[in-house]
Amino acid sequence: MSLLCASPSSSHNLVVIPPATTRRRLTVNHSIRPRLRMSLDNNNNNNSNINSSSLLSSVTNLLWGRSLPPELLVTTVRTAWNSMWHVMMSQLAPSDPTGGYSRPASKFRFSGPPPPNGLHLYVGLPCPWAHRTLIVRALKGLEDAVPVSVASPGNDGSWEFKRVGVNTGRVITPSLDKANGCKTLKEVYRLRSGGYDGRSTVPMLWNKDSKDVICNESYDIIQIFNSGLNGLACNPELDLSPPQLKDKIEEWYQVIYPNVNNGVYRCGFAQSQEAYDRAVNELFSTLDDLENHLSNSRYLCGDKLTLVDICLFTTLIRFDIAYNILFKCTKKKLYEYTNLHAYMRDIYQIPKVADTCNFQEIMDGYYKTLFPLNPGSIRPIMPSTSEHEILYRPHGRESLSSSSKTVFVK
Ligand SMILES: N[C@@H](CCC(=O)N[C@@H](CS)C(=O)NCC(=O)O)C(=O)O
């Protein structure tokens, strides 16, 4: 993708003049200028430390003197930023002709029983798709049968294994690559015979014996974990996709995947107002429907937790800390949906689920890595309503199940 591709959609910005209110604000805000100048002067005194910002400030000083006219500053930066933003977004988040986000299909799909030995799971903690696989792995008791390596997002947004998280309890933290000793996930993908040059995404299920990718689609991996490894699972009798509910699960998935799971990304990665409006309306009208449905159904398919609940949960748990803010899913906070919030707490309180939710890593992953959406990389404070203590408050949903204790289909 070249710069030329981005310029037509952003060319109108070349003549944009900041609105009067912005102009006024910039004009009266003289107080920051001396400080800015001071730090630039300091830079200039230190010849060995010339960096691009001091070079830029020297050029602006030369052209306009010490006070760069705010209108010029805003117009220039806005034009440049808008063009670069469109280039970045079209590369990082492929879109349809209307500017709507179109998620690339997963390259390695799999169904059927996997090899019983040599399995290894690669995940990243911010990722909602990878989170699904961690939850099903935990509920099925597959921790020993399927060891996991936890990648962290690197500065360029790709996955790396350069950091071991501080373990402050039972919550899962980043790790090194325990299967292949690679520094990046891209290297792992490239180890497969035949190589690989596509997107190196998590989750990814790896075969250590044949050194190959088995699958990198979360929806397939959770089915494999649910029913394909019962010989190795500590909890083989748990069935999160029983035959009598398969159709219902699939029906719900067709609703929540486009509108909620991928829907939040369609809001955040929209490249036009029209695409954003469509996505955000579909998202919130689906959340309204879910709120209604969950008023008299403990889980999506009735009394029992199923795979589709786990798929919904990993989006809901990120909603108020990431999507509501960063992806502009702003019509309501999840906390405002009484039934959806209680449903989320119900799932969070299932033994082992909370250990898969690392909120610090989730927030860092979204706010520090998705550079085009948050160029300053400032991470907002965690909303108090998303704290562990709040999520552990009674959810009161047992009464919606015919047998209050059994949440699992056995
Ligand atoms: N459809 C895939 C989506 C996986 C996905 O998009 N993962 C993201 C993290 S949330 C990723 O690894 N992106 C890295 C990249 O695109 O290079 C699934 O459900 O497994």
Strand intervals (E) in 208-268: 212-215
Active site residues: 127, 265
Average pLDDT over residues 400-406: 67
Q: Which ligand 1 atom lies nearest to the CA of residue 199? A: 17
CA–CA dist 13, 76 (Å, integer): 9
Cα(266)–Cα(91) distance, integer angstroms = 15
Our CA dihedral for 78, 80, 82, 87, rounded to 10 degrees, sits at: -170
238 domain-assigned: no
Q: Which residue has the higher pLDDT, 7 or 295?
A: 295
382 and 281 within one domain: yes
Instruction: Point out the domain boundary residue: 77, 92, 107.
Output: 92
313 is a domain residue: yes
Together in a domain, 347 and 220 = no
Considering the chain, what is the average pLDDT of its residues? 85
Rounded Cα gap, residues 313 and 388, in angstroms: 15
User: Do 281 and 359 have their domain in common?
Assistant: yes
Check residues 223 and 13 and name the one with the higher pLDDT.
223
Q: Which residues line ligand 1 (CB under 6 A)?
A: 106, 127, 129, 158, 199-203, 217-218
Supply the pLDDT for residue 178. 97
DSSP for residue 173: -
Higher model confidence: residue 193 or residue 366? 366
Across 344-370, average pLDDT: 96
Residue 243 has pLDDT above 60, yes or no: yes
101 lies in some domain? no
Based on the structure, what is the number of domains in the chain? 3
* pLDDT of 335 above 70: yes
pLDDT of 49 higher than 90 = no
Quote the pLDDT of residue 9: 29
Better-predicted residue by pLDDT, 215 or 91: 215
Closest atom of ligand 1 to CA, residue 219: 19
Substitution site in 129, 132, 190 for ligand 1 pocket (most atoms within 8 Å of beta carbon): 129
Same domain? For 257 and 131 the reply is no
pLDDT > 70? residue 6 = no
CA 314 to ligand 1 centroid distance, Å: 14
Residue 100, domain member (yes or no): no
CATH code, 155 = 3.40.30.10
For atom 5 of ligand 1, which residue has the closest CA? 201
Whether residue 139 is found in the same domain as residue 251: no
Residues 249 and 394 in one domain: yes
Nearest-atom index, ligand 1, CA of 217: 20
Does any domain span residue 195?
yes
Last residue of a domain, one of 194, 228, 262: 228
Ligand 1: which residue has its CA nearest to atom 10? 127
In a domain, 361, yes or no: yes
Residue 129 Cα, ligand 1 centroid: separation in angstroms?
Answer: 7
pLDDT at 408: 54
List pLDDT tens digits, range 7-43: 222 322 222 333 333 333 333 333 333 333 323 333 3
Cα(66) to centroid of ligand 1, in Å?
A: 46
Give the residue with greater pLDDT, 77 vs 161. Answer: 161
Q: pLDDT per residue over 271-288, tens digit each?
A: 999 999 999 999 999 999
Question: What is the band of 90 on the pLDDT scale with cuts at 50, 70, 90?
Answer: confident
CA dihedral 107, 200, 89, 266 (to 10 degrees): 60
Same domain, 392 and 290: yes
pLDDT at 393: 97
For residue 202, how far is its CA from the centre of ligand 1 (angstroms)?
5
Residue 338 buriedness (CB in 10 A; 0-12 / 13-18 / 19+): exposed
> pLDDT per residue over 103-114, tens digit each?
999 999 998 889
Q: Are residue 274 and residue 361 in the same domain, yes or no? A: yes
Q: Tell whether 88 and 147 lie within a shared domain.
A: no
Would you place residue 403 in the very low, low, confident or very high pLDDT band (cuts 50, 70, 90)? low
Please indicate, yes or no, whether residues 313 and 389 belong to a single structural domain of this protein: yes
What is the average pLDDT across 225-234? Answer: 96
Task: Record the tokens describing residue 358, joined without a space.
Answer: 């690392």
Atom 6, ligand 1: residue with shortest CA distance: 201
Identify the residue whose C-alpha is closest to ligand 1 atom 19: 218
Asked if residue 109 is part of any domain, the answer here is no
pLDDT reported for residue 51: 64
Tell me whether residue 154 is in a domain: yes
Same domain for 167 and 85:
no
Burial class (CB in 10 A: 0-12, 13-18, 19+), 391: buried
Tell me: do 247 and 395 sit in the same domain: yes
Instruction: Please give the pLDDT value at position 5.
Output: 27
The Å distance, Cα 253 to ligand 1 centre, comes to: 18
CA pair distance 300, 290, nearest whole angstrom = 8
Rounded Cα distance, 48 and 340, in Å: 57
Q: ω before 203 within 30° of 0 (cis)? A: yes
Domain boundary among 228, 263, 295: 228
List the domain range (segments joined by +) for residue 161: 119-228
